[in-house]
Chain A
Amino acid sequence: MTSFAALFTLESQRLFRRPLAWLVLCLGAALMALFYMMLMVRYLDNEPQLRAAGVTAELLVRYFGSAALIALLLTPLITMQAIASDQRDGMLRFLFSTPASSAHIVFAKLAAVLCLVGLLWAIIALMPLTLLWGAPIDLGVYATNLLGLALFMIMHACLGVMCSALTRQPVAAAMFALVVSLSLWLAEFAQRLDRDSNLLGGISTLTRLRGFALGVLNFADMVYFSALALVCAAVAVWAVEGTRRYA
């Protein structure tokens, strides 16, 4: 077993021992259940008017829109301690003295975070499957929404780990990640103010998710999320290695 696998096991054990991890999962599940119920009630109360649009558009797509926002808000809570607390407690120096490289350290922590994020994604994904009992949903749209949400959550996990690598304070890391995430989310609204600019819309995660929500697989959107995730992971490795070299 490589030092990466050993570190991944260690980080996963530590992450899933923290009450905060389970609290975030429970909070995520509870919020999504609440949204799901509200959407369901809204649909049933207004069925004659909403039937034309269909369950998929009126319930499923709105559900995944809410899920993205919930994931955006909760992911910083999962990632904030990933590297920042180790920097603060001196554990990062200890990890440097092991055979693991800086890249191993970052990617092991990221992989552990992705396990928890994946669990949250699975909870979100399973909930709307209950519709299959009573309503026809478009499984293609369901699949593209799942893919879009997965890419969105992976990107935000990488962003959170990057922010955690840039500070010694977990709370500061969470706030930093939240500000960047919300800025990327809200960039679309800024673009509405300046209609000549395509740049703000192009970098908005909200804009990039729209294609997935409508059942369209756009290669550019997939590249966007993947590239952002890779850049964030690379910056995290650079920051951690910088701590060893220059701190």
Chain B
Amino acid sequence: MNDTVLLAAHGLVRYYGARQALFDVDIVLARGEILGLLGQNGAGKSTTLQILCGALAAHGGRVEIGGHALASAARQAKALLGYLPEIPPLYRDMRVDDYLVACARVHGVAANAAAQAVARARQRCGLNDVGARLVSHLSKGYQQRVGIAQAIVHEPQVLVLDEPTAGLDPAQIRDVRELIRELGRERAIIVSTHILPEVRALASRFMILHHGRVVHDAPASGMRRLRVRTRHTPGAAALAAIAGVTEVTASPRGWLLTVDGEPEAAAEAFAVAAVAAGWGVLEIDPDFDDLEHLFMELTSGAAASAAA
């Protein structure tokens, strides 16, 4: 990960009438980071994202994108930003290519580079076959893809995606996740979603908002775990020796292995070790329960009330 901070927001406050919707929200995001923003409905996720994009003014705090203050250098800051709102922003009476060219031009892409930028975005989002079609004639899934294409057409450094896989079929969801991972290598990305496995699959950091406050903000590395179950007990030391495993915890249904990279890579290493040692593998499962438990604990019941 590159440590260049691309997005920094400090002390964000927002009111809707007399009701305070955000309380001193801080977000710092470096190049190469993908932040998963979680929260129940009404927690303040969309408000936060809109403030980060300049679509909504904050009533307190400041936002910097690529070192440019959103308040005083909005043009430079917003040129570095791509935004996909919860409902894709589409002009339904336009053709896909015309719409993407317009989005590229509004974001400052030169006329002679716009066609190439659109071709690249179209390719990445699987829109090559629908460039000449009217947006209103596309299915919901394709419209969502056009929404993603408009967010990346100008090659922004910071991407803000609100429910990016809404309305997509499983194959499209897989493709979009892969695209986000690819884009996330050189950019800073915020993904807001209700789908916990999606955040788990994508994010390098989790942030949980509840009643407008940040109640959790930590790297995902500590949350990446595998649950494994074997016929013969291998022992904690043997499991800890597997590549990528940083911590081993016994659980009622086998072992929980905390990993520092992709859970899939650790799962493969575990399988190889288990076969070699003859442990008799019964189950290998990336464990998503940790995130779900944490989310439920922080956003409901007594803990949530105390935090709020």
Give chain A's interface residues, CB within 8 Å of chain B: 1, 3, 6-7, 9-10, 13-14, 17-18, 90-91, 93-101, 244-247
Query: Please, could you name 28 A-B residue pairs with CB atoms under 8 Å apart, sorted by A?
Result: A3-B75, A3-B107, A7-B106, A10-B105, A14-B93, A14-B94, A17-B93, A18-B93, A90-B89, A91-B89, A93-B55, A93-B56, A93-B89, A94-B83, A95-B106, A97-B50, A97-B53, A97-B54, A97-B78, A98-B107, A99-B74, A99-B75, A99-B78, A99-B106, A99-B108, A101-B75, A244-B54, A247-B56
Choose one: B75, B85, B98, B111; the contact of A93 (CB below 8 Å): B85
Residue B102, interface by CB 8 Å = yes
A29 to chain B, nearest CB (A): 23
Residue-wise, chain B 17-59 has the 8 Å CB interface mask toward A (1 for contact) of 0000000000000000000000000000000001001111100
Are B93's CB and A1's CB within 8 A?
A: no
Point out the residues of chain A lying under 8 angstroms from B74, CB to CB.
Answer: 99, 101
Point out the residues of chain A lying under 8 angstroms from B190, CB to CB.
Answer: none
A244-B57, A245-B57 are contacts. A97–B94 as well, Cβ < 8 Å?
Answer: no
Are B106's CB and A100's CB within 8 A?
A: yes
The distance in angstroms between the C-alpha atoms of A245 and B58, with both chains bound, is: 7
Residue B79, interface by CB 8 Å = yes
User: Which residues 71-86 in B have Cβ within 8 Å of A in the complex?
Assistant: 74-76, 78-79, 81, 83, 85
Are A6's CB and B50's CB within 8 A?
A: no
The distance in angstroms between the C-alpha atoms of A244 and B50, with both chains bound, is: 10
A245 (CB) vs chain B CBs: closest residue: B57
Give chain B's interface residues, CB within 8 Å of chain A: 50, 53-57, 74-76, 78-79, 81, 83, 85, 87, 89, 91, 93-94, 98, 102, 105-108, 110-111
The distance in angstroms between the C-alpha atoms of A100 and B98, with both chains bound, is: 19
Are A96's CB and B106's CB within 8 A?
A: no
B111 (CB) vs chain A CBs: closest residue: A1
Are B56's CB and A99's CB within 8 A?
A: no
The distance in angstroms between the C-alpha atoms of A100 and B93, with both chains bound, is: 22
Choose one: B54, B78, B102; the contact of A13 (CB below 8 Å): B102
A98-B107, A99-B75 are contacts. A93–B94 as well, Cβ < 8 Å?
Answer: no
Are A98's CB and B85's CB within 8 A?
A: no
Point out the residues of chain B lying under 8 angstroms from A7, CB to CB.
Answer: 106
Q: Which of the listed residues A9, A14, A91, A93 has the most CB atoms from chain B within 10 Å of its own CB?
A: A93
A-B interface, 5 closest residue pairs, ranked by CB to CB distance from nearest: A94-B89, A6-B105, A97-B53, A10-B102, A96-B55
B81 (CB) vs chain A CBs: closest residue: A97
The distance in angstroms between the C-alpha atoms of A6 and B114, with both chains bound, is: 12
Are B50's CB and A93's CB within 8 A?
A: yes
Point out the residues of chain A lying under 8 angstroms from B56, CB to CB.
Answer: 93, 96, 244, 247
A81 to chain B, nearest CB (A): 11
The distance in angstroms between the C-alpha atoms of A223 and B110, with both chains bound, is: 39
Mostly, the A contact residues are: helix
Choose one: A13, A14, A18, A97; the contact of B55 (CB below 8 Å): A97
A14-B94, A17-B93 are contacts. A94–B85 as well, Cβ < 8 Å?
Answer: yes
Are A90's CB and B102's CB within 8 A?
A: no
Are B94's CB and A17's CB within 8 A?
A: yes
Point out the residues of chain B lying under 8 angstroms from A1, CB to CB.
Answer: 105, 110-111
The distance in angstroms between the C-alpha atoms of A7 and B108, with both chains bound, is: 11
Q: Given A10-B102, A94-B55, 13 other A-B contacts at CB below 8 A? A: A6-B102, A6-B105, A10-B91, A14-B94, A17-B93, A93-B50, A93-B89, A97-B78, A98-B78, A99-B76, A99-B79, A244-B54, A244-B56
Point out the residues of chain A lying under 8 angstroms from B94, CB to CB.
Answer: 13-14, 17
B102 to chain A, nearest CB (A): 4
The distance in angstroms between the C-alpha atoms of A140 and B111, with both chains bound, is: 43
Are B50's CB and A14's CB within 8 A?
A: no
B271 to chain A, nearest CB (A): 45
The distance in angstroms between the C-alpha atoms of A48 and B153, with both chains bound, is: 70
Point out the residues of chain B lying under 8 angstroms from A99, CB to CB.
Answer: 74-76, 78-79, 106-108
Are B93's CB and A97's CB within 8 A?
A: no
Point out the residues of chain B lying under 8 angstroms from A91, CB to CB.
Answer: 89, 91
B13 to chain A, nearest CB (A): 13
Choose one: B83, B106, B111; the contact of A3 (CB below 8 Å): B106
Point out the residues of chain B lying under 8 angstroms from A94, CB to CB.
Answer: 55, 83, 85, 89
Q: Which of the listed residues A9, A99, A247 has the most CB atoms from chain B within 10 Å of its own CB?
A: A99
The distance in angstroms between the C-alpha atoms of A235 and B293, with both chains bound, is: 51
A138 to chain B, nearest CB (A): 45
B84 to chain A, nearest CB (A): 9
A15 to chain B, nearest CB (A): 10
Point out the residues of chain B lying under 8 angstroms from A17, CB to CB.
Answer: 93-94
A92 (CB) vs chain B CBs: closest residue: B55
Point out the residues of chain A lying under 8 angstroms from B93, CB to CB.
Answer: 14, 17-18
